[in-house]
Amino acid sequence: MSGIGAGTRLVPTPTRPFEWGLAALGIATLLAAVLAAPHGARAAAAQDWPPFVLVAGLLLVGLVADEDGLFAAGGHALARLSPNGVALYGGTVVLVVSVTTLLNLDTSVTFLTPVLVYAARSRGEGEAPLIYACLLLSNAGSLMLPGSNLTNLIVLGHLHLSGGAFFAHMALAALAAAVVTALVVGAVHHRELRPTITASTEYVRPVLGVGVVAVAAVTVLVVGLRSPAIPVAVVGVAAVLIRSLRRDSTTSARSAVRILGLPVLVGLFGLAVALGTLGRSWSGPATLLSHLNAWGTAFAAAVTSVLVNNLPAASLLAARQPPHPFELLVGLNIGPNMFVTGSLAWVLWLRAARSAGGRPDVKKASLLGLASAPLAIAAAVGVLMLGGAH
């Protein structure tokens, strides 16, 4: 396999039939919602569009950062500097959580998964603990900043918090969830984290240009603004346009459209608006949440996210202001680790791993998620309750 960052870039696989099916379903349910309850559909769309615009901008920034070699440099540095398998795994945990926090979990699984496949193979290390950690930590670690997960922004529509205020509420809970998830994955795969592995001497020098500037800009915007979606999208589009002007650039409008995965985004947006409309017309979800305590809210959200995907679930459960919004987010963000239906990140992770020649196993990933998610949810909710941020 060619080294990621040594001339090879992630090339998204062609859109699969089920993705077009999801798009068709989303459009159909959206039209049904608009016809049945136009006012509710308008309110749901107003709540749901900013997260989708934000993630589009972050994915575009990630595309530019990837071509500049920022992610590859991180993977090569891990492979080169880690003295043993445990250190390589620990570095992976830090890298995944950092990228998830700053550039969204979808950016993390899309661009880091192939880098981690290379990092593992270049050291003679098994890829399984690294790629499973990438998926599960991207979900579990997406509680740090509003832009880390689309669900954060959907629920934030009721909270009106800045990125800094959100971080102050959620940072310790997010850290607890990430640590628990990392420990479970590491314990299950401890035999593959061998004490010594062959050193890698290859070095990738990143381009310190548009990608770095764009990453810094979106970080400031997400932390400082209550509504960063449009500014971040502008930065993403501008970064792609500027990067495409280079003669040696592989960034283009076509690559940008493919990395966005528009059929999936369209489908999930339609479903989110439809269920958000339902939540405004039907008091059932709000009534259920009003009778649940913090723990019940988190686990109900986790189950709902697996049943209908966490983005539509967030729109449904947060159509009216929930009584325990932070615990609701814990369930919506970590719960998807239990099965492939839980979040968009699963689809992007599978595509990225297969494109890089990896061997992702949905059954094994789900079993790891079923083992780690309840513990991570319990840890995060416990931290929130101790801190009084519920």
pLDDT in tens, 225-240: 777 889 989 999 999 9
User: In the predicted model, is pLDDT for residue 194 greater than 70?
Assistant: no
pLDDT of residue 202: 58
Pick from 112-126, 247-261, 318-332 the range whose average pLDDT is largest: 318-332
pLDDT of residue 11: 46
pLDDT of residue 35: 94
Question: In b/e form, how buried is each residue of 318-350, taking b as 16+ CB within 10 angstroms?
Answer: bbeebbbbbbbbbbbbbbbbbbbebbbbbbbbb
> What is the rounded distance in angstroms from the CA atom of residue 27 to the CA atom of residue 45?
13
Candidates 85, 87, 94, 86; CA nearest to 112 is 94
Q: Could you report the per-residue pLDDT of 148-192, keeping only the tens digit for each?
A: 998 998 888 777 778 888 999 999 999 999 999 999 999 999 888
Contact 264, 306 (CB under 8 A): no
Q: Could you report the per-residue pLDDT of 29-51, keeping only the tens digit for each?
A: 999 999 999 999 999 898 888 87
CA separation (Å) from 29 to 37, 120, 258? 12, 43, 24
> What is the rounded distance in angstroms from the CA atom of residue 363 to the CA atom of residue 327?
27
If pLDDT is split at 50, 70 and 90, which confidence band does 7 have? very low
In a 13 Å sphere around the CA of 71, the CA atoms on its Cβ side amount to 31
Average pLDDT, the chain: 85
Q: Which residue has the tokens 């494109």?
A: 355
Candidates 388, 384, 287; CA nearest to 330 is 384
pLDDT of residue 348: 84
pTM, 2 dp? 0.81
Q: Could you report the per-residue pLDDT of 106-119, keeping only the tens digit for each?
A: 888 988 888 888 78
If pLDDT is split at 50, 70 and 90, which confidence band does 6 have? very low
Structure tokens at 103: 């550039």
Can you give the length of the chain in residues? Answer: 390
